[in-house]
Amino acid sequence: MLDSSVIQIKLIRKYLKIKLLDDNVSFRGHALERSHVYDLMRKTIVQGESNSALVIGARGSGKTTLINSVLQQLSSEVDLESDAIVVRLSGLLHHDDKVALKAITAQMQLDNAVGERVFGSFAENLSFLISCLQSGADRRCKSMVFVLDEFDMFCHGVKTQTLLYNLFDITHQGQAPVCVIGLTCRLDVMELLEKRVKSRFSHRHINLYPVESNEIDPDVIEKSPLETFLNIFVQLLSMPLELSRTPQTPKKKGRKKSIAQMESLDSETEGFSVPKEVLDKCKVDPGQFSELDRGFLEDWNAHIIALSEDQNVVDVIEKFCYYTLNEQIFRDVLFQIVSKLCQTKPYIDASDIYTAIDNSVAPEHRVKLLQSLSILELSLVIAMKHGLDIFDGQPMNFEMVLHRYTKFANTNSSTQAVPRPVILKAFEHLQALEVIMPVKGTDSIYSGTETTASRVQKEYQFFMLAVPISDVDEAVKGFKALPTEISHWYSNSVF
């Protein structure tokens, strides 16, 4: 019996890990937005229309999952492999035109066709690739779906917008049915586009909000973020009962389940299964999960429902929603909890949940930001903190901060000498991270949109520390790699 329970726990843990970590196909909610994307792709693949659109949403809102879900549905309805080509580009990797063109050629499987050919421009090369896909007497071309992740990264610089211009231009030429969908988390992405790119874009914007609105049925009350994440909690941790091929057997020992829960489990867990495509991608045999006992699964699902109704769990998930609505972070938290399941710990405790959430979101982001700084950058923050103590909170410029840091470095022979340009670059990085902020001027000779800092040399611009001293205290105390002399400098009298 002991060996059987160990097998059950291992299989549940394995299945939930796949669901939390690798399932990027199952998409929930946002029916209108999903229908819109589905119609655009289907018209391109089936009817040969060319379209373009932008999917805008915060990180973790499900933009990539939405695209994967639509492509999975289309693959079951049409022969996606022979009728269309899906090209995925990321602004983090393919922001350069040459790199992007190599990726497009490889994903189109046209490396042999290009060979050693030399083209005059990016447009000529792309047109040649599309012409290689045309076949038949009527010279028909396969439909193409371009998915541009981190779309805003393609917009920086003049050269990088050549890719966007040519892709959007193809949608107007009618040379081939093309669907271009950009994914971004920036709301001001249209302001980054050149005029020539805007003129080719269809201006379709599909917004994914963290809490979806009920436009289909106005009588339905919109769910709060807490209710949404409680539902996600149950859906992600529940096991589908259809995994078990063994008939239901009454169990003498187990968690008590109400009749209403028992009746709802069969209907509610139908959509909790991992798609077969995800299991195939992970090279996992679905047949191994048939060893799961149905009674054990019912017991597990009842346990998850009971957890979702526990007031302590509700409170800690509400705390999570206060910090962030990123579902990916929530999945990471649940993955940590599921990974701890074992023979001696077959169920999830409420304490595990609020401990994992506290470790993920409770520490202030400013403290984490300070602890991610280099030793030099943190030393400049400490020097500025001491300077603020000396000058009663008056703003400081780079020369003043440099003086305090140099004075400390000269009194410590173990401190490595750093060139002035490197120190200035570290100071500018602190400004970019908004650890320090420029002081706005009140002089009447400047316009309302200008600051005094914009009129003087950068070495003499005045700055204030933008993070509380308490956060600096906590960051220094928790900085494991901080040299002893710098820690001593911070905690003792000002030099």
Q: What is the CATH number of the domain that holds 67?
A: 3.40.50.300
Query: Which segments within 382-461 are labelled E, that is strand?
Result: 436-438
Check whether residue 184 and residue 123 sit in a common domain: yes
At 187, list the tokens. 């709301």
pLDDT at 212: 54
Q: Report the CATH number that the domain containing residue 454 is assigned in CATH.
A: 1.10.10.10
Check whether residue 249 and residue 128 sit in a common domain: no
- Comparing CA positions, the residue from 181, 126, 193, 130 lying closest to residue 156 is 193
- Comparing CA positions, the residue from 134, 129, 99 lying closest to residue 117 is 129
Q: Residues 88-124: pLDDT tens digits?
A: 999 888 878 888 888 888 888 877 766 666 566 777 7
Check whether residue 432 and residue 343 sit in a common domain: no
Query: If DSSP codes are grouped into helix, strand and coil, which group holds residue 52?
Result: strand
Structural contact between residues 111 and 103, judged by C-beta atoms closer than 8 angstroms: no
Give burial (CB, 10 Å; 0-12/13-18/19+) of 162: buried
Asked if the structure places residue 270 within a domain, the reply is yes
Check whether residue 319 and residue 395 sit in a common domain: no
Whether pLDDT at 442 is above 80: no
At 404, list the tokens. 């305090």
Check whether residue 268 and residue 127 sit in a common domain: no
Check whether residue 292 and residue 388 sit in a common domain: no
Whether pLDDT at 60 is above 90: no
Whether pLDDT at 446 is above 80: no
Check whether residue 388 and residue 478 sit in a common domain: yes
pLDDT at 55: 95
Model confidence band, residue 293 (pLDDT cutoffs 50, 70, 90): confident
- Comparing CA positions, the residue from 237, 248, 239 lying closest to residue 294 is 248
- Mean pLDDT for the chain overall: 81
Check whether residue 404 and residue 355 sit in a common domain: no
The fraction of the chain above a pLDDT of 70, given in percent, is: 82
Asked if the structure places residue 18 within a domain, the reply is no
Out of 337, 361, 385, pick the residue that ends a domain.
Answer: 361
At 282, list the tokens. 């992970």
Whether pLDDT at 405 is above 50: yes
Out of 176, 208, 240, pick the residue that ends a domain.
Answer: 208
Query: If DSSP codes are grouped into helix, strand and coil, which group holds residue 205?
Result: strand
Model confidence band, residue 245 (pLDDT cutoffs 50, 70, 90): low
Model confidence band, residue 36 (pLDDT cutoffs 50, 70, 90): very high
Check whether residue 175 and residue 244 sit in a common domain: no
* Cα 387 to Cα 253: distance, rounded to the nearest angstrom: 67
Q: Residues 256-290: pLDDT tens digits?
A: 444 444 444 444 445 568 888 888 888 888 888 88
- How many residues in total does the chain contain? 495
Of the two residues 9 and 141, the one the predictor is more confident about is: 9
Check whether residue 204 and residue 224 sit in a common domain: no
- Comparing CA positions, the residue from 65, 43, 74 lying closest to residue 178 is 43
Model confidence band, residue 148 (pLDDT cutoffs 50, 70, 90): very high
Domain count, the chain: 3
Asked if the structure places residue 26 within a domain, the reply is no
> What mean pLDDT do residues 357-386 have?
83
At 286, list the tokens. 């679905």
Whether pLDDT at 49 is above 60: yes
Name residue 233's amino acid: F
Out of 157, 189, 208, pick the residue that ends a domain.
Answer: 208
Check whether residue 242 and residue 127 sit in a common domain: no
Whether pLDDT at 453 is above 90: no
pLDDT at 7: 85
Whether pLDDT at 213 is above 70: no
* Structural domain containing residue 399: 368-491
Asked if the structure places residue 13 within a domain, the reply is no
Of the two residues 451 and 34, the one the predictor is more confident about is: 34
Of the two residues 192 and 223, the one the predictor is more confident about is: 192
Asked if the structure places residue 289 within a domain, the reply is yes
pLDDT at 256: 47
Asked if the structure places residue 457 within a domain, the reply is yes
pLDDT at 218: 44
* Cα 179 to Cα 169: distance, rounded to the nearest angstrom: 11
Whether pLDDT at 210 is above 60: yes
Check whether residue 357 and residue 374 sit in a common domain: no
Instruction: Quickly tell me which residue has 């023979």 as its tokens.
Output: 343
> What mean pLDDT do residues 381-389 have?
89
Asked if the structure places residue 6 within a domain, the reply is no
Asked if the structure places residue 179 within a domain, the reply is yes
